[in-house]
Structure 1
Amino acid sequence: MVVHDLSRPRAPRLPRWLGRPGFHVFLTGLLMVLGFMLAHRLSERSGRDQLSALSTERLELYASNLAAELGRHASLPSLLAIAPTLQTLMQAPGDEAARRAASQMMARVNVRAGTHQIFVATPQGEVLAASETLTPPPRLAEAVAQGRVHFFAADPSTGSTDFYLLHPLRQGGVTGGVIVVRFNLAPLEATWVDLGLRSQGERILVADEQDVVIMSSVQAWKYAVLDHADPSRRKALEASARYPQAVGRDLELPVTLEVHQGQQVSLTLPGASRPRPMLAQQRQILPLGLRLVALSDLSEVRQRAQYAAWGGAAFGASIGLLVLYLSSRRRALRQLTQAQAALRQAHGQLEQLVDSRTAELRQTNEALKTQIAQRLKTESELLQASKLAVLGQMSAGLSHEVNQPLTALRALARNSIRLLETGRADAVAANLQIMDDMVERMSRITRQLKSFARKADEAVTGAVPLLDSVRNALVLLDHRSRPMGLQTDIDIPEGLQVRAESNRLEQVLVNLFGNAMDAMEPESIRRLRVKASADDAGRVLVRVQDSGPGVPEADLPHLFEPFFTTKPAGEGLGLGLVISAKIIHEFGGTLRAERLPDGEGMSFEFDLAVAPAEAADV
């Protein structure tokens, strides 16, 4: 007798075809295909996103590097524009002596600044003076007519890219010429080429507004055209004289690219037989009219996707084998867990590597920004440093100047104590009056020193009493003028006010007076004359004359050049007159120097605008 156990439910029977080996083979194959496709797609998308983020960071670094290189000499043309040598040349463009003097000055500045060429040309492109013999670029006249401050042009001899900085030279409100500074971008491009050789996965190129490559880490792409250029456009590009040779082949690169995610393109690299997949990203540099394009190789991303795809296929096969071989379920799950853990670890290591590289790039970018900010800040602090240098030179004399009254005050105080003990009140009062005069004298010196050391606001100008500024400057130099027996002749009308800033005007006067005292030191007669006169045009002419030996005629053209000095080594940097000329130029005037007749000394003069009395600068 057979007894059936009715307490345990009977498992439903599966269809017979589910247990056939052919179904398990089909299921295993289907899972392998699905795993292959899904893993390949996900891995490729992840790798592309990571490569895009890394390429974006590097693109910003390249853009910052290019902007820093192009802006390194941005202020040089404007500084040269106020040089007296170039102003003399603009007044007499046909004078050969003026041309020769300007050429010599620009040759010296060219060597010191590290540029390639500096020259002055007419608005029509004719060279008036240059640091060396040259042929002006064909685009010069066009750039001057369009009012450009910079442009790119190719060097016809080397094929490298040159960058030109322009600044107009005006006389009476009319542009009489233009000063041009040229420097070559071949060193920067060489670093890109070296980086491209070391990192085969990334290429950099720079295209101008005509979509022609002017810089590239791949030399074969130089002067190639992005996208496709028809014959008429190619003829127009070759006839523009912007490039030293025939325009290169088409790169078949889209003109418009996605800024963040980038766009996949296929390019045939030099020496390769077939095109390779590349991720193209670009960054617009609007002030220069350029586009910086980064091309990252997707081969490694696709290779990793293939590996991941095979891993996905293996995962699908393992699922099929789990269904087919229920007996190995525990072992298969353990292998799957281990595979997933290894995948997470590899993914974590990759993310850590990407984060580390990104942090390094950010740090480098911040360092570059800090260096640029420091260079910009140096120019603004140069005036204050000059004043502090003058105060440092005067420190010994001022110490002696203050020490004498302190010694006298101590002696008078002790004497007054004894006089009070003897009841001589009149003598005590006389001593107190002398002590009050000495304290007032020290207070006047320290008050003027504090005012002189204060950092002035260059943007604020007003009506400044000229006579007070002259007297304040003489107070600062009193410790030098009295021991040398300096005779001062001040001829300035009372109440005469000029349009300036008092602190910076006093700095100019201290520089001029100090130079005059240095020049008169070995002379027996030491006379300093300061004269000022106003004309009908609303201008005040200020002259500072000394009785020294004067500057030799050969050194006169170089007085206002940076780092030029006639003093012995260690006693001057050659920046005082340059800074003074820049301050007067910002006030709307010009600082000039000339020898007095019969070798009687030197005369420095500058002109300022007359200021109304009611607008006095407080």
Structure 2
Amino acid sequence: MPESLRPRALRLLRLLGRPGFHLFLTGLLMVLGFVLAHRLSERSGREQLSALSTERLELYASNLAAELGRHASLPSLLAIAPTLQALMQAPDDPERRRAASHMLARVNVRAGTHQIFFATPQGQVLSASEPLAPPARLPEALAQGRSHFFAADPNTGSTDFYLLHPMRQASQAAGVIVVRFNLAPLEATWLDLGLRSQGERILVADDQDVVIMSSVQALKYAVLDHADPSRRQALQASARYPQAIGPDLDLPASLEVHQGLQVKLPLPGAKTMLAQQRQIVPLGLRLVALSDLTEVRQRAQLAAWGGAAFGASVGLLVLHLSSRRRALRQLTQAQADLRQAHAQLEQLVDSRTAELRQTNDALKTQIAQRLQTEGELLQASKLAVLGQMSAGLSHEVNQPLTALRALARNSMRLLEAGRQDAVAANLQIMDDMVERMSQITRQLKSFARKADEQVTSAVSLLDCVRNALLLLEHRSRALGLATEIDLPPGLRVRAEANRLEQVLVNLFGNAIDAMQHEAERRLRVRAVAQDAGQRVLVQVQDCGPGVGEADLARLFEPFFTTKPAGEGLGLGLVISAKIVHEFGGTLRAEKLAQGMSFEFDLAVESWTAVPETHDV
């Protein structure tokens, strides 16, 4: 390398080795990745949307052409009917007019059209299936020799399609057969599609570029391009349209069929859309599809952020490699320095050996003590977790065991005194306590088993409530909770007992948590008949502080909880609502004047008319 270029090269290498340069490079890669990914994703999304819209345009065009061509042969078939031939010979004969009208009425009913009539070349109706006025465009269409034309129904505002077939006599025009059928059913399906799908709009424009059919009612009779005041007056005077001409949509006349063109309709709140069209040349129509680009842009935004993340990853990788190279270079330099210092340190090794040994022994002792302490702390942590798990159950069992021991000793003394009746009474009390502990453990085992989510049967609602309260008895008794059960004993609902108890335990537990700091703690369970006794509404009410209006709307969202951190995951109500939904009901929450009410409905298997109230 020439001497003149060496300083510049060294400065360039130092610049490339600085972290600030790599951070700048990372930011640059993020911007490039963002822009490139956004453009590629938007282009791909537009191409996919354009291809899908093109297919739908073909489908709509085929559907419209099939609907309009369904009766294309009907006028020519009517032209050879003897009744109309006879009317053409004597158009002023009232009998022939009446016979032709009856025949046209029968054909109109069988063909499913809206009107069929026979008119003179000047547009005067001689006979018709229904006494309706001919369209104002009929003389114009006859003068232009049209075989079909579109016109608006002045009464309903819907679009009618007219088929014309001239009848000749001696090579001269003697009349014309006109078949009219309405396109309102087809347009109704498009309106329904427009209401269900907000991402696509379908417009059908006639030869004057006026929208005569649309999936959006507000765009009907709008002008595709731009109409000045004189053109608007001419369109309104043509009697083609039953109402005022709508706004200008400013769509270009030559839209791309496949790629489309981004346009924005001059309407309030309009979004940028992809416009494509298909010409239906035989009918003189333009079929325009407007596709919403919102989803394409959202995907492009996501792809752009992904590209930015990729660019940042590449930049950070380069920074990592550069830092690693710099660290290796520093390590090599340090190793050289260490080798140089090693020769100096060898002289001090002998004098420091004893001191190092003592320090090493002390370190070993400290490490052993630390390991022992860590083991003891780990064991203590395990014991603390085990104590938390067994605290509730031991509290329930400890008092009966103490009473059993006292009764056993008392029974021994009573036996020595020969008091058999007192011993029998003590044994009965002991048996009741054992049955009590057995009931608790049996309910815990029943509650812990996995329920079959597919099987439902007739279960006693009162038994499920009592079992749920039994599982929470140690908490309710500690708080002095008053429980009011307003349930008929014979009420049996269609559910699965274990999962119904799971819902009740969750609702009761939430109620107990809500009333911990209240002076009055009362839990009420009610059953209200619905649908003439076919269903029952189960209400669980507490007298706690309740929840705010903002939190009330989010109670059934996953991972949302009003409890302090570490006391709930926010899934209890979500799981309970899912279980109730599988039973065919709905779980709801309602704020009371004092407290909350959670209620759900279930199907009734059997019902006792007179409820019984139980206070616990």
State the TM-score, normalizing by the size of structure 2.
0.50
State the TM-score, normalizing by the size of structure 1.
0.50
